[in-house]
Amino acid sequence: MKETKATMNKATITVGGGTTATLLESMRVVQNALRQPHGIPHEQLIARLQEWQQMVMDLAGGSAEGAEVATLYEIITVLNSSLDLTETLGLVMDSLIHLTGAERGCLMLLDEKGHLDIRAAQNFDQESVDASDLEVSQTVVREAVDGGEPVLTTNAQRDPRFSGQESVVGYNLRSIACVPLHIRDWVIGALYLDNRIRENVFSESDLPLLTAFASQAAIAIENARLYTMTDQALSARVEELTTLQHIDQELNATSLDLGRVLDLALSWAMQATRADVGTLCILDENGNVSTVSRAGDKNLAEPKPDIVKRVMSSQEPILIEATRMLVPIRYEDRTVGLLDLRRDKGAAFQLSRVQFAGQLAGHAAMAIENAQLYDQVQQANQAKTEFVSFVAHELRTPMTSIRGYAEMLLKGMFGELSPQQEQFIQTISSNVKRMQIQVSDLQDVSRIETGHLKLEMQPTALKDALTEALQSTQGQVEARSQQLMVEMSEDLPLIHADQARLTQILINLLSNAYKYTPEGGSIKVHARQQNGYVSCTVSDTGVGMSPEDLEKLFTKFFRSENPAVRDMPGTGLGLCITKSLVELQGGEMKVKSQLGEGTTFTFTIPVAA
């Protein structure tokens, strides 16, 4: 910082012979000082700006040099006013051509391979020149770029350095000036001006002005590049996050079917990386492939064991010859899958797409793990359902035998029973009936879960099913001195239902009502037509349910902790089966309840066509 101040103090500004160079040097020193971490004192900056302003005004008072400085000041202002490099350089090139008397001019930048790319080109008539039509001396440009110093010739036709060059002779070039564009220690391009008609258009005294402009142009280009890179990086990041959000939404919205999740994850990976073919494999802890999804080529082979082993030991994507990408899919500290993506015709994967593939694999890992867990649960449920079905089927035969022998004993077919023996046999018979109901419920649940429950759907009268259900439950209702009321329109239409299962629905709801309604309570059945359905409501004045119980009500084997419920026999399957039977017949089941004030069940069945 001390060296900067000392340098600035030596920069004396005077009006006269070297004024332009001195002023430009002073501006350069201030500019360098501003780049330092602590900048320059505010007072010094204000003083320096005032000196520059006065100098520009004095020079602009009549000298040609003053006009040049004023023009340069305007050019620098334009350069620093916008980050739209193409538009800015076009305006600046036009000003610079008129300032120097050049016929044409262009600004060229070096690309990644060292080739010069014309970014702005103008002629004296303020017309943009197409880069392909611009005839320049590549020898002059290369000398300036490679040497890092300005190159000037007053007449290239007679200059021994260039007179033998084909471009100089062929394009009839005369006056040429070329100044390199510096950014710190490297050259990023060049500023080129020429005149094919006149010689001596440029002189050594023009070089400070052109060098100053080149310095400002280089800074503007660097700023624009940094801005563009930052803007592009931000846009790319936003696009990546948006894509990952869409991926998460699709993976979470889809079913938990493992095959569907694999196909979806592979499809997104192919799209994001521009791969031509690929596979997604599920791996166990030993690296064995259990499930494979393919895209682009259904006959694509699974990754070989050595490839799988290599991926399982890596936490990052692996590139093989730049055209094959192996992406481990990791969940927690385990490799649960492998993405094998390939490109045809030797096209390499871009580094940004490789990195994105790693992010995508991380998002897919959770969905794959969830799908696998769901698949395992489904398999366990299937095994449980099959076991329940087998046990229920095997129990029916001995229970039928027990019930049959009990009834024979009660009828005295094997001799008269004492009162105590008769009581014991009746208890056996009663419990066997309960077991048969429970076994029947278990079989219904098993058939519903496996999709094997057969329904005989036909036009059915709700009244007939209700009459049958009332006959089955009338004795229990009367035994508890409960009042049963039925409200049903005589003109109710037929419904599309299985009558036996419809009767089962009504028996379950009526049984639930009388069991949990105290003696002397009331039960009401109401049916009406509504929007293409027949709606049936069974309400009671019973114990009711808490909000917590309502949330679990239709869950298999659920029994409330309420003592009034626990005292009643039951398996917790009746309402689960009832809801499933309603839905299988195209209807809907709803419940409303308040603890201590009763419960209302409502179900609908479609009207028969």
The enclosing domain of 509 has a CATH number of: 3.30.565.10
- The pair of structure tokens assigned to 463 is 């009244």
- Nearest-CA neighbor of 528 among 577, 485, 482, 495? 495
Tell me: do 280 and 392 sit in the same domain.
yes
The side-by-side arrangement of strands in the sheet containing 104-110 is 116-123, 104-110, 186-195, 175-183, 151-153
DSSP state of 239: H
483 located within any domain = yes
397 located within any domain = yes
Q: Across residues 411-438, what is the average pLDDT? A: 84
465 located within any domain = yes
Helices 499-515/574-584 angle, 10° precision: 150
Indicate the residue type of 97.
I
CA pair distance 28, 211, nearest whole angstrom: 11
- Give the 3-state secondary structure of residue 594: strand
Indicate the residue type of 546.
S
CA pair distance 209, 218, nearest whole angstrom: 14
Q: Domain end: 437, 453, 469, which one?
A: 453
CATH number of the CATH domain containing 290: 3.30.450.40
- Give the 3-state secondary structure of residue 460: strand
Task: Note the pLDDT tens digit of each residue in 68-78.
Answer: 555 556 666 65
CB 587 within 8 A of CB 603: yes
Task: Note the pLDDT tens digit of each residue in 483-516.
Answer: 999 999 888 999 999 999 999 999 999 999 999 9
Res 57 pLDDT > 70: no
Task: Note the pLDDT tens digit of each residue in 240-255.
Answer: 666 656 666 666 665 5
Confidence at residue 17, expressed as pLDDT on a 0 to 100 scale: 40
Tell me: do 369 and 467 sit in the same domain.
no
Kindly tell me the sign of the dihedral angle through the C-alpha atoms of 500, 506, 510, 511: positive
Cα separation values, 155 from 105, 197, 333, 549, Å? 16, 10, 73, 99
Tell me: do 464 and 448 sit in the same domain.
no
CA pair distance 125, 269, nearest whole angstrom: 53
Q: How many CB atoms lie within 10 A of CB 97?
A: 20
CB 444 within 8 A of CB 498: no
Note the helical H segments in 172-277: 207-253, 258-273
CA pair distance 412, 2, nearest whole angstrom: 124
Confidence at residue 69, expressed as pLDDT on a 0 to 100 scale: 58
Task: Note the pLDDT tens digit of each residue in 204-226.
Answer: 888 887 888 788 778 777 777 77
Tell me: do 533 and 573 sit in the same domain.
yes
Provide the pairing of β-strand 318-320 with 289-295: unpaired
Q: How many CB atoms lie within 10 A of CB 239?
A: 11
Instruction: Tell me which of 198 and 84 has the higher pLDDT.
Output: 198
Indicate the residue type of 44.
Q
Residues 6+ apart with CB under 8 A from 73: 56
529 pLDDT band, cuts 50/70/90, is: very high
Tell me: do 517 and 405 sit in the same domain.
no
Residues 6+ apart with CB under 8 A from 205: none
Res 8 pLDDT > 90: no
- The pair of structure tokens assigned to 504 is 């089962």
158 located within any domain = no
179 pLDDT band, cuts 50/70/90, is: very high
Provide the pairing of β-strand 186-195 with 324-331: unpaired
Res 312 pLDDT > 60: yes
451 pLDDT band, cuts 50/70/90, is: confident
142 located within any domain = no
CB 526 within 8 A of CB 484: no
Tell me: do 432 and 555 sit in the same domain.
no
CB 201 within 8 A of CB 195: yes
Tell me: do 388 and 495 sit in the same domain.
no
CA pair distance 84, 231, nearest whole angstrom: 12
Query: Which residues, in sequence order, are bridge partners of residue 329?
Result: 337
Tell me: do 462 and 441 sit in the same domain.
no
Provide the domain count of the chain. 2
CB 120 within 8 A of CB 90: yes
Confidence at residue 497, expressed as pLDDT on a 0 to 100 scale: 95
Tell me: do 439 and 475 sit in the same domain.
no
Tell me: do 440 and 480 sit in the same domain.
no
CA pair distance 123, 98, nearest whole angstrom: 9
Tell me: do 386 and 486 sit in the same domain.
no
Residue with the two structure tokens 């103008």 = 122
CA pair distance 63, 51, nearest whole angstrom: 18
9 pLDDT band, cuts 50/70/90, is: very low
Instruction: Tell me which of 14 and 258 has the higher pLDDT.
Output: 258
319 located within any domain = yes
CB 444 within 8 A of CB 571: no
| Domain coverage including residue 562 | 458-606
Instruction: Report the phi/psi class of residue 106: left, alpha or beta, with left for phi > 0 and alpha for psi in -120 to 50.
Output: beta
CB 199 within 8 A of CB 59: no
Cα separation values, 200 from 102, 157, 211, Å? 11, 12, 18
- The pair of structure tokens assigned to 23 is 């002023």
Residues 6+ apart with CB under 8 A from 176: 137, 140, 151, 152, 153, 156, 162, 192, 193, 194, 202
Query: What is 384-443 written as a DSSP string?
Result: HHHHHHHHHHHHHHHHHHHHHHHHHHHTTBTBPPPHHHHHHHHHHHHHHHHHHHHHHHHH
CA pair distance 77, 216, nearest whole angstrom: 10
Provide the pairing of β-strand 483-488 with 522-530: parallel
Q: Domain end: 421, 453, 485, which one?
A: 453
Q: Domain end: 434, 453, 472, which one?
A: 453
- The pair of structure tokens assigned to 115 is 């080739």
Tell me: do 317 and 415 sit in the same domain.
yes
Kindly tell me the sign of the dihedral angle through the C-alpha atoms of 363, 365, 366, 370: positive
- Nearest-CA neighbor of 309 among 341, 279, 335, 275? 335
CB 272 within 8 A of CB 345: no
232 located within any domain = no
Task: Note the pLDDT tens digit of each residue in 508-526.
Answer: 999 999 999 999 999 999 9
25 pLDDT band, cuts 50/70/90, is: low
CB 25 within 8 A of CB 10: no
- The pair of structure tokens assigned to 18 is 């070297």
- The pair of structure tokens assigned to 212 is 């100053």
Confidence at residue 505, expressed as pLDDT on a 0 to 100 scale: 94
259 located within any domain = yes
Helices 351-410/207-253 angle, 10° precision: 10
Query: Which residues, in sequence order, are bridge partners of residue 106?
Result: 121, 192
What percent of the chain shows pLDDT beyond 90?
A: 22
